[in-house]
Structure 1
Amino acid sequence: MRNRFPSLSLSSYGAGWSANRRIAIVAAAVAGLLALAGIVALLTGGGNNHEAPDSAAPAPTGSPSSSEAAPKPSSGSGSVPKPPQISEPVAYAKAAAQMLWSYDTRDTSRDQQLAGMRAWMTTETKYADWTSVSGQVPDPVLWSRMADQDQHATAHITEGHYPGAFKQALAEDPSAITEAYIYVVTVNGKQTLSWKKGGGGAEERAVTLAVQCRPNHDCTLAAIAPSVTQ
């Protein structure tokens, strides 16, 4: 039986984005640090992607609905943890990745999952890419199938770091980041899945996040970008 939460694999996330879409996400993250060619190179750089195991369910079809753009606060957040009060980009990105790779359909509805994830996002709409985050959640039908199997997952984070291209751009113009204070961070770890009758498995994970950490404020999540692990 296929019982996996496929959209958290991130193995092909962003593959269908237009050139302008790709440029916009990391352009905000580096806040003008890179020229256009450099941004494209960062977005299309290689990463450690992993194929789904044989037990994986097919990836959900369609885009998040308009209702997902603003999940109702009253729906609660189920098992989704609240965003931590962290002001250091790498530490926050690691916490965000753990949240993204963890879920529990036994006590959390799809709407609650979305509402819980939304709480991690920056409120600055100029930099927030909610679609890239909400797109990690399977469609309602697949979530229901997962819930029928009591599927849940936990995550272990092994490390987080700034990709080389981002560090180089920051070194070349340190003041440029003061416009948005958005940092690009790659996080690596492992996701462990479980379901009924002792079923389960584990996979390595890698994701690149854009996090906003303004001075004297807690960090927030701005976007999920294609994998950049160098």
Structure 2
Amino acid sequence: MRKRPHSFLLSSYGAGWSANRRVAIVTCVVAVLLAIAGIVALLADSGNSHQAPDTTAPAPGDSPSSTEAAPKPSSGPGSVPNPPQIAEPVAYARAAAQMLWSYDTRDTSRDQQLAGMRAWMTPETKYADWTSVSSQVPDPVLWSRMADQDQHATASVTEGHYPSAFKQALAEDPSAITEAYIYVVTVNGKQQIAWKKGGGGAEERAVTLAVQCRPSRDCALAAIAPSVTQ
């Protein structure tokens, strides 16, 4: 019986992390529940200082853009699209999730996949958790085996929303968001995987993203965040 090729399952986020990293993620979740400033501090690496924020920001509501189609980005390295010019957190998170759930080993190398994903990240290294994003890509050996099977995936997004914990924390301290303008968005959708000889399947996907949307600037991905209260 022919074995099913390895699946590139982005929803398995964090499965191979060390105990220390898992503890750090749990700490981050607690911080989100307590205050927006907490998650900003824990997402930050020791890096460059960021610019002074403006005093206005998009106000999270009942995910007004969750049913709107995000602008289609243009082609980037390999099959990875370039980041779209979107200034609204939910819409950007929807586009980012679709990008993360899509890949094509037939025309995209692992290095191209990583380079394409990196382009979606915030340039503010203090808030960019690249490890949480890059860890979604299989190691070189597994990617090679997937390529041998012409494995590729497309994705569709059904909805995106601000988790209730994020909205509650922001309501309790609206000014906290102005530290880094990082929004927490949960996105749900479906991934369709296919490979040689007609093989394939579809699976539901869900991811919680930290998206940075400073005023008067396009949004950017900060991290794949821990799953918080829906």
TM-score (normalizing by structure 2): 0.76
Match of 2:228 in 1: 228
Q: 1: CA distance between counterparts of 2:136 and 2:112?
A: 14
Question: Tell me, which stretches of 5 or more residues in structure 1 are unaligned?
Answer: 37-75
Percent of pairs with identical residues: 76
Within 5 Å, which residues of 2 pair with 1:47-196? 77-196=77-196
Q: 2: CA distance between counterparts of 1:33 and 1:25?
A: 9
1:28 Cα deviation after fit? 8.5
Work out whether 1:20 is the aligned partner of 2:24: yes
Work out whether 1:10 is the aligned partner of 2:15: no
Q: 2: CA distance between counterparts of 1:4 and 1:87?
A: 36
1:12 Cα deviation after fit? 5.2
Q: 2: CA distance between counterparts of 1:104 and 1:211?
A: 25
1:31–1:180 contact (8 Å) kept in structure 2: no
Give the residue type in structure 1 aligned to 2:12. L
* 1:178-216, Cα deviation, whole Å (9 max, x unpaired): 010000000000000000000000000000000000000
Consecutive aligned runs of 4 or more in structure 1 exceeding 6 Å deviation = none
1:220 Cα deviation after fit? 0.1
Q: 1: CA distance between counterparts of 2:7 and 2:141?
A: 12
Q: How many residues align?
A: 190
Q: 2: CA distance between counterparts of 1:25 and 1:126?
A: 19
Partner SS for 1:32: helix
TM-score (normalizing by structure 1): 0.76
Question: Tell me, which stretches of 5 or more residues in structure 2 are unaligned?
Answer: 42-75
2:80–2:99 contact (8 Å) kept in structure 1: yes
Match of 2:69 in 1: none
Tell me: CA distance 1:229–1:154, structure 2 relative to 1, closer, same or farther (3 Å): farther
Q: 1: CA distance between counterparts of 2:190 and 2:102?
A: 10
Q: Which moved more, 1:9-18 or 1:220-229?
A: 9-18
Match of 1:52 in 2: none
